[in-house]
Structure 1
Amino acid sequence: MSIETAELRARLLKLLEEDTEFRYAVAGLIGLGEILRRLERHEEELKKIWEEIARLREDMNRGFERYDQQIAKLWNEIAKLREDMVKGFERHDMELAKLREDLNRPREDFNRAIQLFEKLGG
């Protein structure tokens, strides 16, 4: 490498460090401008994606709230059905107890009749 080339390089590097306008001109020539424009587009697209994610999250949360309300209604309905079943079982138990009493009464009468018959000499 010749001395002239080395000096030219040194001057170019110094210009790049000190002269902002020159630095941007060189950057544009080597395609940095296109890269920066693409980065800006990507940032805009990324911003749109995050906004869409936020909207989707809001929609999802509203859906969860609806499902939570539906589940709460179902549990309330289950509780009511359980109460109705318990009341039905209680009525059933009372009816069975009455039937048992009704069935026992003739047997008791019969047993008394036998005892009376035996006392009378039977």
Structure 2
Amino acid sequence: MDDLKKKFLELLETDDDFRFAVMGMIGVHEILKRLDTHSGIMIKMQEQMAKMQEEIKAMQEQMIKMQEEIKAMQEQMIKMREEINGLRAAVGELRETMRANTEEIKSLKADVSFLKRQGSETRSLLGSLTEAVFQDKALRRLESIMSSAGESVVDIRYNAAIDDKEFDLLIIGSRTVYAVEVKVRHRRQDVDYLLSKLGLAEKEFKGKKVIGVLAGIRMTRAVKSYARGLGMLVI
């Protein structure tokens, strides 16, 4: 073994071809070792690149999904805008309708106010006509009563006032004064009101008998009985 080693060293010193051959072998071996090392690195790099490609693919899929979601959201936004525009248009129409209704209500209120005035005037006119009819009826009836009693009519006063009280009709005879209260419907308090005014007529027409008269359409039996019990006439 020592001889072989000695021979090997001599050849390295003396034989250039041998020396180059040995150096070549050593170089190839070193290269192969380095290639093995680089192959391991390359494999790791390839594995890392494959992993990165998978991650990139996953990210791309997420991006596609996100783009789809964004597109869906954009479509929803467009739909919402259309709905909002529709609602705005509807609100505008409602406002116009409300304005028109407000104007119509104002017009109707004016019409109602006018009709109320007309109704009030009509009721007042009807009241005046009714009062005139019953005044005339009472006058004719009382003139007949006075004529039958041999009494003449001295004066007739419509809506006459004594002090602060008003009488619908006063028929003044030679001996008697008839104080007439005209109403469509007489109630007990109306009888009492007429009774309270008769004292004023008695003071006004001293020496003459004052008789209260109720003229109207509707009067209950109780009211008629009450008035007659006080010495009044019911027509």
Same fold (TM over 0.5): yes
1:70: how far off?
1.0
Normalized against structure 1, the TM-score is what?
0.66
1:88: how far off?
0.8
Residue of structure 1 aligned with 2:124, choices 78, 81, 90: 90
How far apart, in 2, do the equivalents of 1:40 and 1:112 lie?
A: 103
The sequence identity of aligned pairs, in percent, is 8
Q: Does 1:44 align with 2:70?
A: no
Partner of 1:19: none
1:108: how far off?
2.0
How far apart, in 2, do the equivalents of 1:111 and 1:38 lie?
A: 103
Q: For residues 34-113 of structure 1, what are the structure 2 equivalents within 5 Å?
A: 34-113=68-147
Q: Does 1:116 align with 2:150?
A: yes
How far apart, in 1, do the equivalents of 2:67 and 2:103 lie?
A: 54
Normalized against structure 2, the TM-score is what?
0.37
Question: Structure with the greater relative contact order (CA < 8 A, sep ≥ 6): 1 or 2?
Answer: 2
1:35: how far off?
2.2
Name whichever structure is richer in helix by fraction: 1
* Cα RMSD for the two superposed structures: 2.8
Query: Residue 31 of structure 1 aligns to which amino acid in structure 2?
Result: K
1:24: how far off?
6.5
Q: Which runs of 5+ in 2 are unaligned?
A: 1-43, 152-235
1:58: how far off?
1.2
Q: 1:62 to 1:24 in 2, by over 3 A?
A: farther
Name whichever structure is richer in strand by fraction: 2
Largest Rg, 1 or 2: 2
Greater Cα offset, 94-103 or 106-115: 106-115
How far apart, in 2, do the equivalents of 1:46 and 1:106 lie?
A: 86
Q: Which runs of 5+ in 1 are unaligned?
A: 17-21, 118-122
SS at match of 1:116: coil
Partner of 1:120: none
Query: Residue 48 of structure 1 aligns to which amino acid in structure 2?
Result: E
